[in-house]
Amino acid sequence: MTAARALPDNIARLQWNNQLKSGALCVFFVAGMAVFALTLFLMVALPASQAPDSGLSLPQMMHDPKMQLKLLRFFLKIFFFAGGMTLYFIYRDIKNIGVIFSARPLTLHSSDTFYRAVENMCISRGIKMPALYVFNHTVIPPQTVTAAVAQGVGGVSALIVTEGALKLAPPLQEALAAQAVQRLYTKDTYFLTMYCFLGHFPFHAARSANVIAKYLFWLPLRAAELVLAIARPMILNLRLQRLDAGALELTKDAAPLDALAAQLPAMDTLENYFYAPYLSLFIAKPQAAA
């Protein structure tokens, strides 16, 4: 009984530590955008300094305060351009989550087990009900049991499940709902959605660029990718190892969560069906259990 009473405090501490770590890693991803901006800045500034009658020179750049201020402003414009692109990607993809994941709106009602579980848990946590979708069977095998949770600014969120998840026994459906709702409640998924875009900023930028822009931005995107690739495995491992603990507060029973974990796919399995940037949004098998 003592251990049971101490459990919520332990869960709260784990969740708070996760949010701090995820937030710190998001700062690292902002550094990746800074590398992109710096590389693009140097691609423009260095050739310009060598051009005759350009009014620029390396000594002037290094020692003239007025010139340094102009260059700093130019760099900041590029940096905020990169940040604006990232915010646009987040807004666009959350708004079009069904298109991005090849999913269709899920039509459920309060009489359906999964809908009722998600609705009740959202009410208990005082959060908005996420938009519900189901993956098309052509994207991922319908018998696969998993879900993706995305969360954006302003409380906009989405929960996408597989057909296999909707065929689980009611206790396991409730366990899956608890996994999703807890991520939304603690805003861990908000950080992971930011990670999805900040951590894979080069992917989203290259994917949205036209042919000319892809060649123009190839070097800056490549430089940013080299920096960001260092931290991505760390945050993905953190997400798999720790973020599931808070669901115990909602289910009050570890057995359905353990049974659900046994049916979840490993992350390397999901890589066969989805782009790497989106994998952190999925409810997947913890690494230790894979």
The residue behind tokens 């784990």 is 14
Percent pLDDT > 70 in the chain is 77
Low-confidence winner among 61-65, 82-86, 147-151, 158-162 (lowest mean pLDDT): 61-65
- Helices 170-186 and 2-50 pack at an angle, to 10 degrees, of 50
Low-confidence winner among 20-24, 27-31, 164-168, 201-205 (lowest mean pLDDT): 20-24
pTM for the complete prediction? 0.72
Q: Strand pairing of 103-105 and 131-135?
A: antiparallel
pLDDT of 235: 65
Do residues 166 and 195 lie in contact, with contact meaning Cβ atoms separated by under 8 Å?
Answer: no
Cα dist from 30 to 100, 133, 200, 208, whole Å: 24, 31, 11, 19
Pick the closest to residue 196 from 159, 162, 152 (CA basis).
Answer: 152
pLDDT of 105: 92
User: Distance (Å, rounded) from C-alpha 152 to C-alpha 287?
Assistant: 26
H-type alpha helices, the chain: 2-50, 58-63, 65-95, 97-100, 113-125, 170-186, 188-198, 201-208, 211-216, 218-242, 248-251, 254-263, 267-270
Do residues 56 and 48 lie in contact, with contact meaning Cβ atoms separated by under 8 Å?
Answer: yes
236, two tokens:
């993905």
Give the model confidence (pLDDT) of 88-144 as tens digits: 777 777 778 888 888 999 887 777 899 999 999 999 888 899 999 999 988 999 899
Give the model confidence (pLDDT) of 218-228 as tens digits: 888 788 888 77
Do residues 258 and 178 lie in contact, with contact meaning Cβ atoms separated by under 8 Å?
Answer: no
